[in-house]
Copies of this chain bind each other. A is one copy, B any other.
Amino acid sequence: MKNVSKISPAVIKRLPRYRRFLTDLQKKSVERVSSGKLSELMGYTASQIRQDLNNFGGFGQQGYGYNVKALGEEIDGILGLGSHYRIIIVGVGNLGRAVANYTYFYKSEFEIKAMFDIAPSVIGTEINGITVLDADALPAYLGDHDTDIGIITTNRGSAQHVADIMVAGGVRGIWNFAPTDLKVPESIALQAVHLSDSLHELVYYINNPGDPCDPE
Question: Residues of A at under 8 Å CB distance from B?
Answer: 4-5, 7-10, 12-13, 15-17, 19-20, 24, 43-45, 48, 78-81, 83, 85, 93-95, 97-99, 101-104, 110, 148-149, 156, 172-173, 175, 179, 181, 186-214, 216
Contacts and interface: CB of A to CB of B under 8 A. Distances in A.
A19 B216 contact: no
Contact of A199 (B13, B175, B190, B196): B175
Given A5-B211, A196-B16, A173 B191 contact: no
Nearest to A99: B195
A94 B85 contact: no
Copies of this chain per assembly: 2
A48 B15 CA distance: 18
A13 B99 CA distance: 24
B189 A175 contact: no
B199 A110 contact: yes
A8 B43 contact: yes
B172 A209 contact: yes
Given A10-B44, A94-B98, A191-B202, 8 more contacts: A4-B208, A9-B212, A12-B201, A16-B194, A148-B206, A175-B199, A189-B202, A191-B205
Given A43-B8, A204-B79, A213 B190 contact: yes
A203 B45 CA distance: 26
Contacts of A99: 195
9 contacts: A5-B208, A16-B194, A94-B98, A95-B98, A104-B195, A173-B205, A189-B202, A191-B198, A192-B216
B207 A194 contact: no
